[in-house]
Amino acid sequence: MPAQRKDRRPADTVPDQVQTQLRLIKASVTGVTGSLAATSDGLVVAHDILDAEPSRVAALAAATLALASRATLATGCGTFRETVARGTDGYLAVYAASPSVIVAVIGTSSLNVGMLQYRARKIIERIAEHTKTWAATAPAPAPTAAPAAPVAPAAPVAGGRVSPAGARPGTAQLPKRRPAAPA
């Protein structure tokens, strides 16, 4: 029986496997400047970003996911899959790789979005496969020590009126208009 080599590298970790896939996005689509995979609550899993803070991009991608998910459900478009935001200097695309993992891709203004959509989907499917077991076994973030802040009672607002219980912040109960006096 041959002796085992001790210098063998252990199997790649999930973040390493995901980072390899993220690098493929940049290599296969001209105009991509970086990408990252994060949990749906904004924690970085892996990234290939040089020009921006990965944790900030992950938080923005999670916020984009939350808003776009609400929009697709509210309009009857089903479960969120992807969204692309175009700015004056480039693009941010956010994809749902799985229910718990998102992928964000940053690109220049010359990014071919059609090519990104075509190439990225297969790569994102592989990222979803790599993170499938990891997402289920990844440690959950530590709960906060402080309990949620209690809801403050309604406070007086302009004109001495009080917001009714359950009203949105910044709203007030306005007085009813009196009919104009005859002239």
Q: What is the pLDDT of residues 135-179, one digit of tens each?
A: 555 555 443 344 444 444 444 444 444 444 444 444 444 444 455
Q: In whole angstroms, what is the distance from residue 127 CA to residue 2 CA?
A: 36
pLDDT at 72 > cutoff 60: yes
Answering whether pTM is above 0.85, one says: no
104 token code pair: 């964000």
157 token code pair: 């607002």
Amino acid at 131: T
pLDDT for the residue numbered 12? 64
CATH number attached to the domain at 15-136: 3.30.450.30
Q: What count of other Cβ atoms lies within 10 Å of the Cβ of residue 83?
A: 18
Q: In whole angstroms, what is the distance from residue 182 CA to residue 180 CA?
A: 6
56 token code pair: 């900030």
pLDDT at 56 > cutoff 80: yes
Contact 106, 89 (CB under 8 A): no
User: How confident is the model over 111-123, as pLDDT tens digits?
Assistant: 999 999 999 999 9
- 11 versus 68: the higher-pLDDT residue is 68
Q: In whole angstroms, what is the distance from residue 181 CA to residue 52 CA?
A: 63
pLDDT for the residue numbered 61? 96
Residue % of the chain over a pLDDT of 70: 66
Q: In whole angstroms, what is the distance from residue 120 CA to residue 95 CA?
A: 9
- 24 versus 177: the higher-pLDDT residue is 24
Any idea where the domains of the chain sit in the sequence? 15-136
Q: In whole angstroms, what is the distance from residue 150 CA to residue 118 CA?
A: 48
